[in-house]
Amino acid sequence: MAGRAALGPRLPLPACRSRLLQTHAASARWHLDAAVALDIDGVLVRGAQTLDEGRRALRMLSDGSSALGRIPFVLLTNGGGVSEAAKAADLSRRLGVPISPRQVVLAHSPMQALAARYAARHVLVVGGAGRRCAEIARAYGFGNVSTPDDVVAWRPAAWPFMAPPPAPPARPRDYAADPFHAVLVFHDSFDFGRDLQIVTDVLRARGGVAGGAPASRQSVPLYMSNADLIFANDFAQPRLGQGAFHVCLRAMWAALTAGAPLEYTCFGKPFRVQYDFAERLLDRLALDAAPAAAPARLRARRIYAIGDNPAADIAGANGAGWTSLLVRTGVFSGANDPTHPAAAVFDHVADAVEWIIASERARQEAA
């Protein structure tokens, strides 16, 4: 991973910044030489709490009142379990700026690329509340989707600890005659025990048949969306995330198979697929703002990533060649991360955005 340890240099900012922000009318002027990707949890919000610095940061980027005008930005989160449209609407309301679904990259958003391969093939979609992730998968183009709830509704003995068992889906099916072709973990498991059981059932069963006899090797591909071990919310200590489910699943698989490796493809930060997806969204935003923008200009832009998790946000941004900015409002506190050092570290996201604007202004003036 690229990246050098450095404490955030505080570039000089205008003395009357807040008055400048008020007196510049909102403009349609864009600064396309830079773009910003902001993490959400621990940066703009902490669980149910919306951070004032998050509101201020997004206003600076989006209302055109900064010295640079508007700067394209996306929200790049390892969260999920909702549609991009629902996330955009919720954050627009909470943060007080308009956010389009085309500015939201959820952990599972790039899984859309798998939909062509599995358009008609039966997949198990895991994680999140109820059957909501199955609906998201269908909206992505997966046309034949079931959930662990559906399997337990079919045979309550498959996980005999749910009382009462889940309600059957609108169209019950016989999973003994309806094999799975892939398992996709879209979001945090809301029932670790049940999901470990049903996922290992499908991965182990010959031909991917739930309840089928164990095969000698993994039966179907596994895709997972977010390797974060922990995340920050409004509890005093970080909470276990989907990465904890990965740890449990790997350990369970090793115990059940005498140490055979579990093969899977992981989406989400810090994996490159997420950054390629975000760059395509930023390209589209820039081309919407300036349809005549030359491709060479987009390739030359600087992309700044702001996050609170060194292992996800900073490692991924450094690997993608972006400028990584670490904030102390989430899972990280301290001077800088020794393993995944950020280019600069700030107390909160508004300071990070002010630093970006000042850096870009300094480049303009030096040019």
Give 173 or 328: the residue with its C-beta nearer to Mg ion: 328
Range 285-297 burial, b when 16+ CB lie within 10 A, else e? bbeebeeebeeee
CA dihedral sign, ordered 322, 327, 330, 332: positive
Residue 218 phi/psi, 5° resolution?
Answer: -60, 130
In the bound state, the residue with its beta carbon closest to Mg ion is: 42
Q: Where are the beta strands (DSSP E) in 256-357?
A: 265-266, 302-307, 323-327, 344-346
Angle between helix 84-95 and helix 52-62 axes, rounded to 10 deg: 100
Would you count residue 150 as binding Mg ion (CB under 5 A)?
no
Closest by CA to 100, choosing from 63, 75, 137, 77, is 75
Q: 23 — alpha (psi -120 to 50), left (phi > 0) or beta?
A: alpha
Give 47 or 168: the residue with its C-beta nearer to Mg ion: 47
Residue choice 188, 191, 195, 308 for contact with Mg ion (CB under 5 A): 308
Would you count residue 80 as binding Mg ion (CB under 5 A)?
no
3-state secondary structure at position 198: helix
Would you count residue 351 as binding Mg ion (CB under 5 A)?
no
Would you count residue 39 as binding Mg ion (CB under 5 A)?
yes
Least Å distance between CB 71 and Mg ion?
Answer: 21
Give 198 or 314: the residue with its C-beta nearer to Mg ion: 314
Residue choice 30, 31, 41, 200 for contact with Mg ion (CB under 5 A): 41
Give 75 or 202: the residue with its C-beta nearer to Mg ion: 75
Give 152 or 344: the residue with its C-beta nearer to Mg ion: 344
User: What is the token pair recorded at 27?
Assistant: 């403009």
Least Å distance between CB 39 and Mg ion?
Answer: 4
Strands 49-50 and 45-46, sheet pairing = antiparallel
Would you count residue 42 as binding Mg ion (CB under 5 A)?
yes
Q: By CB under 5 A, which span of 53-61, 307-315, 319-327, 343-351 interacts with Mg ion?
A: 307-315
Helix (H) or strand (E) holding 273: helix 272-289
CA dihedral sign, ordered 277, 282, 288, 293: negative
Give 319 or 330: the residue with its C-beta nearer to Mg ion: 330
Least Å distance between CB 357 and Mg ion?
Answer: 22
Range 144-167 burial, b when 16+ CB lie within 10 A, else e? bbbbbbbbbbbeeebbeebeebbe
Least Å distance between CB 269 and Mg ion?
Answer: 9
Would you count residue 188 as binding Mg ion (CB under 5 A)?
no
Would you count residue 337 as binding Mg ion (CB under 5 A)?
no
- Give the count of residues interacting with Mg ion (CB under 5 A): 6
Lay out the site mask for Mg ion across 257-286 (x = CB under 5 A, - = otherwise): ------------------------------
Give 205 or 331: the residue with its C-beta nearer to Mg ion: 331
Q: By CB under 5 A, which span of 35-43, 156-164, 237-245, 272-280 interacts with Mg ion?
A: 35-43
Give me the residues that bind Mg ion (CB under 5 A), please: 39, 41-42, 308-309, 330
